[in-house]
Structure 1
Amino acid sequence: MKNIVLVTGGARSGKSSYAEKLAKEEKAGVLYIATSIPFDDEMKDRVKKHKERRPSNWHTFEGYKNLKHVFYNEEIHFDTILLDCITIMVTNLMFDISGDNFDDLNAEAIDSMEKEILQEVADFLCEAEKSTKTVIIVTNEIGAGIVPEYKMARVFRDIAGRVNQYIASRAQSVHLVVCGIPIKIK
C-alpha cells in the first residue's frame, strides 16, 4: 500500500470497515484518529460500535485540528494512521471558525473559512507526504444528492467536496465503497 489512501462513499456504505481492513493488512501499529465529538446518544452509540470493532492494540487519538502533530508522537509506535473522518472534521472546524450563525455569513467569510479548513488539511497531508507511514483517510461522498435547502448545508457540501478533491489529488490511491464493495478509482 502506498503512503496516502483515500476511502470515500456514501453514508453507511462500509467505508470505515474497509479502511479498517486496509489498516489491519499493514500488520504494524495503527493510530486511529477519531474526529467526532459524540454529543448525543446516537453519536455515542456509533462511536461505541466503532471502538468495539477496532483491534485492542490500536491506539486512538481523539481530535480534529492540529493533526499534523500526530506524526511525531514518540510515546507510541505506529506505522499506519487511519483518520475517520474528514467530513466530520470539516463540520467541527466550520463550527469552530464561524459558530452556528451561517445564515449571516457573506461570501468573503465563507471563502476565509474554507481557506482555513483547507490549510488544516494541507498541513496534515504535508506531514503525511514527508512520513514513511501509511495514511488512510475516510471521507463521505456528499455531492451526489440534491442541493441542500439550508445555507449551512450548502456551505458544508461545497467545502467538503473541495476538501475531498484536494485530498484525492494528493493521494496515491482512492477507493469508492458502494454497498460494502470497494472500487479502486485511482
Structure 2
Amino acid sequence: MSEKKMPDISLILGGARSGKSRFAEDLVTQKNLTRIYLATAQSYDEEMAARIAKHRSDRGRQWTTIEEPLELLKSLQQNSSVENIILVDCLTLWVSNLMGEGLSVEEAVDQLIDGLCCVDGPVVFVSNEVGQGIVPDNAMAREFRDHAGRLHQRLAAKAKSVYFITAGLAQKLK
C-alpha cells in the first residue's frame, strides 16, 4: 500500500496590511485551476461586513467563496480536487474563532496537519505573523500568539513553499 502524497502547500505569512492576501491571490491566479477562496472571517459588526464584501467584490467572479470559520479541514477535504486550488484566508482568524468558541486549538491544528494528506489539490494558506512584537500583557493574547506560532511552524514544515511579505514585498523562506 503506497502512502498518499501531500498536496502542493504554500504558506504566506506577514503582518497586517503587508500585502500577503494580494500576493496569495496572485500566486493562485498563476495556476490554470478553478479558484476557491476559503474564508475564515466572521462579521460581528458593520465595518467587518463591509471589509468582507469589498474583498469578495475585489476578487471578482473568477473565485468561488466558501465561508468556514471553524471546520477548516472538513471544508478543505470537501472542496479539494486536482482541478481546484484553494486559498485559505486566514489561519489566525481561524485560531481566534476556535478560541472564541472554547474549542481546543491544539486538537484542531493536529487534525488539520494530519488531514492534509487527504486533500487532493494545491492549497495556499495565509496567516498573520504575530510573534515578532512584544510579549502581550494578558494570558489570552499570549495563548493566541503561542497557538499561531506553533501552527505556523507545523504548517511550514509540511509546505512546499513559504513566503514572508513585508510592505508588499515577498521574501521566499522555503
TM-score (norm 1): 0.82
2:101 to 92, 96, 100: 96
CA RMSD of aligned residues (A): 2.0
**What letter is aligned with 1:153?**
A
**Structure 1: segments with no counterpart, 5+ residues:** 99-112
Distance 2:125 2:52 in 1: 17
User: Please, which of 128, 139, 153 is the counterpart of residue 127 of structure 2?
Assistant: 139
How many Å apart are 1:144 and its aligned residue? Answer: 0.4
Runs of 4+ in 1 over 2 A off after TM superposition: 64-74, 123-128
* Corresponding residue number in structure 2 for 1:125: 116
Residue matched to 2:3: none
Report how far residue 122 of structure 1 moved: 1.9
Per-residue deviation, 1:119 = 2.2
AA aligned opposite 2:109: L
The answer to whether the 8 Å contact 1:29/1:77 transfers is: no
Q: Describe the SS at the equivalent of 2:42.
A: coil
State the shift of 1:178 in Å.
0.5
Q: Deviations over 1:50-71 (max 9, x none)?
A: 1122130211110133333333
Select 2:166's aligned residue among 178, 181, 186: 178
**SS of residue paired to 1:59:** strand
Which of the numbers 28, 49, 64 marks the counterpart of 2:33?
28
Tell me, yes or no, if the aligned pair for 2:98 and 2:105 is still in contact at 8 Å. Answer: no
Identity of aligned residues (%): 40
Rounded Cα–Cα distance in structure 2 between residues aligned with 1:67 and 1:150: 27
Q: Secondary structure at the match of 1:157?
A: helix
Q: How does 1:49-88 map to 2 (within 5 A)?
A: 49-70=54-75, 71-73=77-79, 78-88=83-93
Distance between the aligned counterparts of 1:36 and 1:145, measured in 2? 23
**SS at 2:101 equivalent:** helix
CA distance in 1 between counterparts of 2:90 and 2:99 reads 15
Tell me which protein shows more helix as a share of its residues: 1
Give, as a single letter, the amino acid of the residue that structure 2 aligns with 1:72: Q
SS state at 1:32 partner: strand
Residues 106-155 of structure 1 deviation map (CA, whole Å, 9 limit, x = unaligned): xxxxxxx3422322422552323xx2x11000001000000111211111
Tell me, yes or no, if the aligned pair for 1:84 and 1:139 is still in contact at 8 Å.
yes
Q: Distance in 2 between matches of 1:39 and 1:78?
A: 34
Distance apart, 1:90 and its partner CA: 0.4
Check 1:123–1:64 CA distance in 2 against 1; reply closer, same or farther (3 A cut): farther
SS across alignment from 2:144: helix
Aligned residues: 167
Counterpart residue type for residue 61 of structure 1: I
> Which ranges of structure 2 fall in alignment gaps of 5 or more residues?
1-6
